[in-house]
Structure 1
Amino acid sequence: MENSAKLLEDSLLVIWNDRQAERRLEAMQEVYAADIIFYESNEGPAIMGHQDINDLIAKLQEQWPAEFRFELNRPSLANHQVQHISWTLGIPGQTPVASGMDIAVIEEGKIKSLHLFLDPVGK
């Protein structure tokens, strides 16, 4: 069985960094449960399923320079079915424009729910 801590790393580095919608959807089949729920913020609605998450990624990437990448601050941490990862977003080698962390709940070897915690601007 694949190292489950790698799932959250793949979510950012493989899925969220990829600018090709079809490849993202293929990777989602391996990393995300079919009925995944993504909580982007406490104020907004949950985003459900591969296609809706893929559409969100495409929309966000349209707003970012092509050089933007997610980078990990350290490897993912796992405690049973819960995983944590901290990251930055921006042009590699430059000051990041955003940072935060993702918390994932794993069920049957895939990410079942994903929760984004965006750091306040300037932190």
Structure 2
Amino acid sequence: MMNASILLQDSLLMIWNNRNSAERLSLMEKIYAPDIHFYESNDSEPFVGIESINNLIGKLQQEWAPDFEFVVTESPKFNHNVQHISWKLGAPELTVAIGSDIAFIEDDKIKSLYLFLNS
């Protein structure tokens, strides 16, 4: 298994912070399983596949200020094929969201990704 402890960190920092759709898609192919499922909330259907997630990221980024980015707030954790990371989203002087992600890894790629927002 590749360095499992950084897969989720790379997802957050290299994919979700990347504002270039083509670059994002190329990175997704290296980090995500082709049939990845992203669970944004318990009240919505999952986003399935890298194209679907890439489109979601692009849509969200259009709503954010240009300087918004994700920042890791504590070291990523992993246990076998499960990873956890905590983060905040915003600008240097403004945090608009705090949360964490949990990912299930299969064949050295993120197979499913779950978002947990702090209230």
Residue of structure 2 in register with 1:75 after alignment: 75
SS of 1:102 mapped into structure 2? strand
Segments of 5+ residues of structure 2 without an aligned counterpart are: none
The CA deviation at 1:79 is 0.4
Kept in 2, the 8 Å contact 1:9–1:75? The answer is no
Residue of structure 2 in register with 1:115 after alignment: 114
The CA deviation at 1:75 is 1.8
2:79 alignment partner AA = N
The CA deviation at 1:5 is 1.1
Size of the aligned set, in residue pairs, is 119
The CA deviation at 1:95 is 3.1
Residue of structure 2 in register with 1:13 after alignment: 13
Counterpart CA distance in 2 for 1:71 and 1:100 is 11
SS of 1:56 mapped into structure 2? helix
Counterpart CA distance in 1 for 2:47 and 2:22 is 19
Kept in 2, the 8 Å contact 1:28–1:50? The answer is yes
- The structure whose residues are more often strand, as a share, is 2
TM-score, with structure 1 as normaliser = 0.94
Segments of 5+ residues of structure 1 without an aligned counterpart are: none
SS of 1:14 mapped into structure 2? helix
Q: Deviations over 1:43-73 (max 9, x none)?
A: 0011000000000000000000010010001
Residue of structure 1 in register with 2:50 after alignment: 50
CA root-mean-square deviation: 0.8
TM-score, with structure 2 as normaliser = 0.98
Counterpart CA distance in 2 for 1:31 and 1:99 is 23
